[in-house]
Homo-oligomer: A and B are copies of this chain.
Amino acid sequence: MPASAYPKSARPALIVGSVAIDRVATPFAESDNLLGGAASYAAIAASYFAPTRLVGVVGGDFPKAFWKRLQKHGIDLSELRVDQEGKTFYWSGKYHEHFAGRDTLEVRLNVFEKFSPVLSSTMLESPFVMLGAIMPTLQNQVIDQFAAAKKKPFILADTFDLWIHTMRPDLERLMRRIDLLVINEDESLLLTGERNLVLAGQRLRQMGPKSVVIKKGGHGSLLFHRDGYFSISAYPVTKFIDPTGAGDSYAGALTGYLASVNRSDFLALKKAVAYATAVSSLTVESFSVNRLSGAGRKTVDARLKALVELTRF
């Protein structure tokens, strides 16, 4: 969306994370040379709500069409660094039958191996920041830069099971420094040792983040906040193609919505979670960002309205 289309209240949303070229196989189809990476999904999702900036790195092989796709959404790519010598981060994965889990078939970190985000003073002015599930050490480095610049943006962080297993102290430090942790069901149980999601959410908040969102895929998501607990159903998707990026677009939409209203109180977070639910339901309806990118704001709003309808009694 052009900046002029955002509400007056809108502030910039910064997305830091991976930009990748994916190959995905589902039980029904496969596709390669796909625009992927958490930051791609998240930035497109955020761009429905607020001016969006992406900090990441790609190689000299990064297709022109992918640049154009991100630019079409008005995303500021001035700090999406291009390492001409190297190749873009490559990920190949295969989903199990009934989408019950997935295997990573191949990962080539390529230029992402040496990724160390250094933010310009412009980027450090961003009041809403999403840290994709890069290494917690890198996530902490980004926060260090904000701290050094005496900036205190709203920070949302994602993580994933590998970091819970291998970099727990860094992850725990991160958790004490962020406003919102967005995590999936299995990871929430792994990280807390709980077996009950309500207890897991409460425990995660005790570990540091002001608020916590637990994503349950097709069962919706839960928000834990000082002022209360919120639970939202999933949008009833029947054309389920590829779940890759659903969590990233969820977190991106959440960040974008908060940036658009320039608020982060419980009420704003509830509505952000609802928008995140609507937006991520689009992502799973195609490979890559195709449906997410093509849907348009009207479709997003229609899904939000449907979510209101189908949960009211």
Contacts and interface: CB of A to CB of B under 8 A. Distances in A.
Number of copies: 2
A213 B237 CA distance: 17
Nearest to A99: B195
Contact of A233 (B220, B270, B308): B220
A149 interface: no
Interface in A119-162: none
A310 B236 contact: no
Interface SS, A side: mixed
Contacts of A267: 313
A313 B233 contact: no
A237 B198 contact: yes
Interface string A253-291: 000000000000001001101100000000000000000
A165 interface: no
Interface in A216-249: 216, 218-220, 222, 228-234, 236-238, 240
Contacts of A229: 236, 310
Interface residues of A, number: 33
Contacts of A274: 313
A197 interface: yes
A236 B194 CA distance: 14
A230 B313 contact: yes
User: Which of A98, A219, A222, A274: most chain B CB closer than 10 A?
Assistant: A219
A196 interface: yes
A229 B195 CA distance: 30
Given A216-B219, A219-B219, A231 B198 contact: no
A190 interface: no
25 contacts: A196-B238, A196-B240, A198-B236, A198-B238, A199-B238, A216-B219, A219-B219, A220-B220, A220-B231, A222-B236, A228-B309, A228-B310, A229-B236, A230-B313, A231-B233, A231-B236, A231-B310, A231-B311, A232-B233, A232-B311, A233-B233, A270-B312, A308-B313, A311-B311, A312-B312
Given A222-B236, A273-B313, 7 more contacts: A198-B238, A199-B238, A229-B236, A231-B233, A233-B233, A271-B313, A274-B313
Interface of A: 98, 195-199, 216, 218-220, 222, 228-234, 236-238, 240, 267, 270-271, 273-274, 308-313
